[in-house]
């Protein structure tokens, strides 16, 4: 008969700690190596005199001081006028863009047009989105001249690319129930669009338009660089004259105007997509 002797504490064999196998990391390793090589090659081959980097921070601080220590407010009137012109370009570009893109996005959505039309339109949208608006402006300016109209048209073309894509995605994303209900009640395609799709997709569409307007406001100030007018035009001239205090004022105007338009448009978008706040509904 054996006596059960309690094992003294600490000596009992614990099950060995088995760690789960490490996730295979060769993929991550290859990715790291590829990225590192690309970055090193880019740094090594680019044509920059890196010695200049040393004096760069000092230079930039000096220029920032020149620009913003005492912005020159004499030209504020003209600056606001040119800003208004830029915003007009953005507005007209957005309106033309939405008028063209609205029917096109229905034609590009599944269920409303034959497949070939869909493919062609989607290709067109992605080609347009790949080309920067300033290049579109250069391409059409020989016909339309160096006027704000050119800027507006370039923005309109570019807007069709993005609005068309967002539009057909929104249309395809709506709940099919109401569409089937309209079909079952004998509705024609226009009636399906009006009563099945539009009530659901409208908030998305309006918020896309507003968002694209915000993008266009930014882009319209860029378009001034090729001479179609607006705040960008004025900014390039004063940069070339090296009138830094005026440049500083112009940059401040761009920042304030862009941020205010973003704020207003953002608030509108939230109101449209999320509905009224509880407090407003109480009234």
Q: Determine, following the binding rule CB under 8 A, whether residue 134 of this chain makes contact with another protein.
A: yes
Q: Determine, following the binding rule CB under 8 A, whether residue 142 of this chain makes contact with another protein.
A: yes
Of 81-100, which residues contact another protein (CB under 8 A)? 85, 88-89, 91-92, 95
At 232, list the tokens. Answer: 């960008």
Rounded CA separation 251/248 (Å):
5
- State the nearest-atom distance from the C-beta of 14 to another protein, in Å: 23
At 200, list the tokens. Answer: 């659901």
Buried b (16+ CB within 10 A) or exposed e, 21-57: eeeeeeeeeeeeeeeeeeeeeeeeeeeeeeeeeeeee
Nearest in space to 106 (alpha carbons), one of 194, 23, 180: 194
Q: Determine, following the binding rule CB under 8 A, whether residue 149 of this chain makes contact with another protein.
A: yes
Total interface residues for another protein by CB under 8 A: 56
Q: Determine, following the binding rule CB under 8 A, whether residue 132 of this chain makes contact with another protein.
A: yes
Rounded CA separation 249/237 (Å):
14
Q: Determine, following the binding rule CB under 8 A, whether residue 65 of this chain makes contact with another protein.
A: no
- Report the residue from 30, 126, 188, 273 that binds another protein according to the rule CB under 8 A: 126
**Measuring CA to CA, how many Å separate 239 from each of 69, 72, 83, 89, 198?**
17, 13, 17, 22, 48
Nearest in space to 78 (alpha carbons), one of 225, 226, 230: 230
Q: Determine, following the binding rule CB under 8 A, whether residue 74 of this chain makes contact with another protein.
A: no
Q: Determine, following the binding rule CB under 8 A, whether residue 245 of this chain makes contact with another protein.
A: no
Nearest in space to 261 (alpha carbons), one of 273, 250, 253, 272: 253
- Report the residue from 138, 183, 195, 266 that binds another protein according to the rule CB under 8 A: 138
- Report the residue from 103, 111, 145, 275 that binds another protein according to the rule CB under 8 A: 145
- Report the residue from 152, 157, 182, 201 that binds another protein according to the rule CB under 8 A: 152
In degrees and rounded to multiples of 5, residue 282 shows phi and psi of -65, -30
Other Cβ atoms less than 10 A from the Cβ of 135: the count is: 12
Q: Determine, following the binding rule CB under 8 A, whether residue 25 of this chain makes contact with another protein.
A: no
The 3-state secondary structure of 79-99 reads: HHHHHHHHHHHHHHHHHHHHH
- State the nearest-atom distance from the C-beta of 13 to another protein, in Å: 29
- State the nearest-atom distance from the C-beta of 12 to another protein, in Å: 28
Q: Determine, following the binding rule CB under 8 A, whether residue 235 of this chain makes contact with another protein.
A: yes
Q: Determine, following the binding rule CB under 8 A, whether residue 247 of this chain makes contact with another protein.
A: yes
Q: Determine, following the binding rule CB under 8 A, whether residue 147 of this chain makes contact with another protein.
A: yes
Residue 148, H or E segment: helix 148-173
| Interface ranges with another protein (CB under 8 A) | 38-39, 42-43, 45-48, 52, 56, 59-60, 63, 85, 88-89, 91-92, 95, 126-127, 130-132, 134-135, 138-140, 142-145, 147-149, 152, 218-219, 221-222, 225-226, 232, 235-236, 239-240, 242, 247, 251, 254-255, 258-259, 262
């Amino acid at each position: 008969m054996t006596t059960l002797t309690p094992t003294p504490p600490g000596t009992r064999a614990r099950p060995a700690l088995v760690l789960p196998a490490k996730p295979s990391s060769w993929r991550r390793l290859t990715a790291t190596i590829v990225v590192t090589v690309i970055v090193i090659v880019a740094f090594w081959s680019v044509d920059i005199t890196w010695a200049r980097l040393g004096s760069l921070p000092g230079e930039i601080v000096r220029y920032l001081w020149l620009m913003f220590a005492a912005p020159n407010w004499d030209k504020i009137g003209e600056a606001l006028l040119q800003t208004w012109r830029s915003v007009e370009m953005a507005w007209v570009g957005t309106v033309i863009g939405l008028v063209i893109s609205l029917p096109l996005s229905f034609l590009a959505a599944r269920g409303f047009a034959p497949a070939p039309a869909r493919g062609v339109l989607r290709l067109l949208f992605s080609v347009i989105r790949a080309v920067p608006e300033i290049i579109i402006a250069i391409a059409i300016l020989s016909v339309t001249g160096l006027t704000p109209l050119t800027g507006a048209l370039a923005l309109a073309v570019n807007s069709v690319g993005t609005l068309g894509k967002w539009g057909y995605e929104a249309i395809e994303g709506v709940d099919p129930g109401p569409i089937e209900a309209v079909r079952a009640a004998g509705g024609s395609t226009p009636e399906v669009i009006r009563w099945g799709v539009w009530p659901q997709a409208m908030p998305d569409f309006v918020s896309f338009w507003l968002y694209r307007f915000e993008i266009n406001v930014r882009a319209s100030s860029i378009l001034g660089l090729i001479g179609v007018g607006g705040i960008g035009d004025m900014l390039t001239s004063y940069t070339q004259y090296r009138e830094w205090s005026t440049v500083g004022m112009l940059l401040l105007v761009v920042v304030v105007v862009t941020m205010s338009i973003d704020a207003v448009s953002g608030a509108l978008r939230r109101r449209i997509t999320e509905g009224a706040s509880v407090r407003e509904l109480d009234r």
